[in-house]
Structure 1
Amino acid sequence: MRQVTLMISNRLFNILIPVISVLLGLIAGAIIMLIFGYNPIQGYSALWYGAFGDLYFMGETVRQITPYILTGLAVAFAFRSGLFNIGAEGQVIVGWLASVWVGLAVDAPMYIHLPLALLAAAAAGGLWGFIPGILKAKLGVHEVIVTIMLNYVALYVSNELIRSVLTDSLDATEQIAPTASLASEWLQQITSFSRMHYGIFIALFAAIIMWFIIQRTSTGYELKSVGFNEHASKYAGMNVSKNIVLSMVISGAFAGLAGAMEGLGTYGSMSVMSGFTNLGFDGIAVALLGANTAIGVVFAAILFGILKVGAVNMPTGSGVPTELVDIIIALIIFFVASSYIIRWVILRFKKEGK
């Protein structure tokens, strides 16, 4: 009975802490607005209107949520195995490149071309995740160092391939073939010609896949076990090295698909990048806020999509600079990271209530 009570209590805390963290972040953001002479009600109203003010903004919000779900799943999946995948950014870039490459080079019907482009993106991201995975498993090289370096390798190698292979010294590829596109005319029409595409359904399906692997398969059980305690898992007869590599490959595949959402959906092409997309780095925050669970990641991605798209309207709608949203996101993550303080306060109030 006590065990059941503890399980319910832990689940309640896992729900309350992200919610409280978001509220504290929004309150802190309002205080910052007041300090600098802005009206927080107008600021948040402009943010809300920028995300849901009309059908176009709603479509753009959903479009932004799509890659956030996938990068959040990528980071969360690695976390569940005790690994910190900082390389989701690089995996997004190589997935984007692979999907566009297949979208340009292959001539096939849509039912072959589109799945092939998506598989290429997942394979490229998985391969980029395999490198730190095998180095961690066989040589004990810390995955954080390797994945950070691979982000830069992905960025500059992709830029060179765009200039020298996919184009003739140009800074952007041609548009992919329509048979490889995730773009949808009817979705664009019902959202006043936003860039919303079919990728949202792929992202939600990916969340179901992660939940199923982690919660309903023996492989998921082993991955969680390795994340909790590598030595105990090895003693129990589990192949720790295999599970480390598998976790990073699956994590990379999710991030690679996030790149495909941009290459096949939002833009339909790829340009030379002067810097990172930040989708992978934002995915770390999404995973943390989502408590590394599939459903949590979906809700966290929705919040981040609203904040990022809504922020664009804040300077014109209320005079509040868009940088304030980045501050709010940073504060939310700070409060999530300080969850033990929130837990202590809740328990203190609970005891006083008795």
Structure 2
Amino acid sequence: MSNRLTNSLIPVIATILGILVGTIIMLVTGYNPIIALSALWSGAFGESYYIGETIRQVTPLILAGLSVAFAFRTGLFNIGVEGQLIVGWLAAVWVGIAFDFPAIIHVPLAVIAAALAGALWGFIPGLLKAKFKVHEVIVTIMMNYIALHVTNHIIRNVLSEQSDRTESVAETATLRSDFLSGITDFSRLHWGIVIALIAVFLMWFILEKTTKGYELRSVGFNQHASQYAGMNVDRNIILSMVISGAFAGLAGAMEGLGTFGYAAIKGGFTGTGFDGIAVALLGAGGPIGIILAALLFGSLKQGALNMPLQSGVPNELVDIIIALIIFFVASSYLIRIFIDRLSKKGVK
């Protein structure tokens, strides 16, 4: 069996194993897995409203997954997607509140502001990695907390008068759509899904079709060989983190301009940035894989909201299933051995 086919099968098998073990857990704890999974499906795709909400959930997950995957494809580990998302969210809302432009200018400006804010938050660990060899995992984790508390301070003391949230962004800056909301029974589906799909294409194009993308992948594969070949390793490390941060900032714009339309004090992390790590892992770092992985995680999260109501199963079981899927993806070495053995038996 070819290596590419094996790599494609691993996420599929990991997903099946995660759902299977989750089903066993439901049986052991006294729940009916058929009713629970039926409620899960119904809550994600049973009505047009749920379909709209599922796609809305998927949108920032795609961008967060792209952020993690882009850094990973270039040899870096961006664990700071959550913080980059938060500062992108705030930047988009600030532009959406502070300026009065026609929609054709206002929306792109707010989206670009979010990307730039995320890029800046990615630039700092990239610079420290390139110039001082400080490991990007440590820096990006710490910067998540800086982002959380700094944005909370700005919301409470700069963008509002001691309030827990800002005012809503101007109508000219929103990504919300009466058309999309109307065809999905007044869900919060917005035009951000189009931006997310464009970002998927951009990631593929940059990495696979440009000279700079080749350099970025080369540096990620072997820094010493790339430097010997005349590539500027430090510059490419910084650029990789900047682009990765920009994708994460866009994910924040989806929430600030689309789903919520404002920025609010956060008692903790949104979780979307961390879910992006799981999406990138399950999607094997590829654009199409990330879309499918985001669709899976988005539908699980949306469907989980219906499980306690329709089947009495606590929605925490979905979190267990997601964790199991990630566990099996992380155990891909064992799955690969299993596939290889089956392949060899088939040849015999």
TM-score (structure 2 length as normaliser): 0.99
Q: 1:322 aligns with which of 280, 301, 315?
A: 315
What is the letter of the counterpart of residue 212 of structure 1? Answer: F
- Post-superposition CA distance 1:70-89 (Å, at most 9, x none): 00000000000111000000
Partner of 1:214: 207
Q: How big is the shift at 1:322?
A: 0.6
CA deviation profile, 1:199-248 (whole Å, cap 9, x unmatched): 00000000000000011011111111111111111111111101100000
Is 1:145–2:132 an aligned residue pair?
no
CA RMSD, 1 decimal: 0.7
Instruction: Give the share of equivalent positions with the same residue, in percent.
Output: 68
Provide the C-alpha distance between the structure 2 equivalents of 1:167 and 1:155, rounded to a whole number of angstroms.
17
Counterparts in 2 of 1:19-34, with a 5 A limit? Answer: 19-34=12-27
Partner of 1:9: 2
**What is the DSSP-based 3-state SS (H/G/I as helix, E as strand, rest coil) of the residue aligned with 2:252?**
helix
Partner in structure 2 of residue 161 of structure 1:
154
How many Å apart are 1:125 and its aligned residue? 0.1
Aligned to 2:111: 118
Q: 1:86 maps to what in 2?
A: 79
- Aligned with residue 335 of structure 1, among 313, 316, 328: 328
Please give the residue correspondences for 1:68-87 in structure 2 after superposition, counting only pairs within 5 Å.
Answer: 68-87=61-80
What residue number does 1:98 align with? 91
Q: Aligned to 2:297, which of 281, 304, 320?
A: 304
Following the alignment from structure 2 to structure 1, what is the Cα–Cα distance between the partners of residues 9 and 112?
37
Cα distance in 2, alignment partners of residues 49 and 81 from structure 1: 39
Partner letter of residue 104 of structure 1? Answer: I
SS of the equivalent of 2:161 reads: coil
Task: Quote the offset at 1:21 in angstroms.
Answer: 0.5
String of CA shifts for 1:67-111, please: whole Å, max 9, x gaps.
Answer: 000000000000001110000000000000000000000111111
Measure the CA separation in 2 of the matches of 1:80 and 1:38: 41
Q: TM-score, normalised by structure 1?
A: 0.97
Any unmatched runs of 5+ in structure 2? none
Which range is displaced more, 273-282 or 316-325? 316-325
State the alpha-carbon separation in 1 of the partners of residues 23 and 163 from structure 2: 45
The aligned counterpart of 1:35 is 28
- AA partner of residue 201 (structure 1): V
2:256 aligned partner:
263
- The aligned residue for residue 60 of structure 1 is 53
Counterpart code for 1:275: G
Provide Cα deviations, 1:147-167, integer angstroms capped at 9, x if missing partner.
001000000000000011101
Instruction: Provide the C-alpha distance between the structure 2 equivalents of 1:175 and 1:150, rounded to a whole number of angstroms.
Output: 27
Tell me the secondary structure at the aligned position of residue 166 of structure 1. coil
Partners in 2 of 1:285 and 1:165 — Cα distance? 34
Aligned to 1:288, which of 256, 262, 281?
A: 281
Q: Cα deviations across residues 251-275 of structure 1 (Å, max 9, x unaligned)?
A: 0000000000000000000110000
The residue aligned with 1:249 is: 242
Match of 2:176 among 166, 170, 183: 183
Supply the distance in 1 between the matched residues of 2:63 and 2:209 (Cα, whole angstroms): 20
Shift of 1:115: 0.5
**1:130 corresponding residue in structure 2:** 123
> How many angstroms apart in 2 are the aligned matches of 1:31 and 1:205?
39
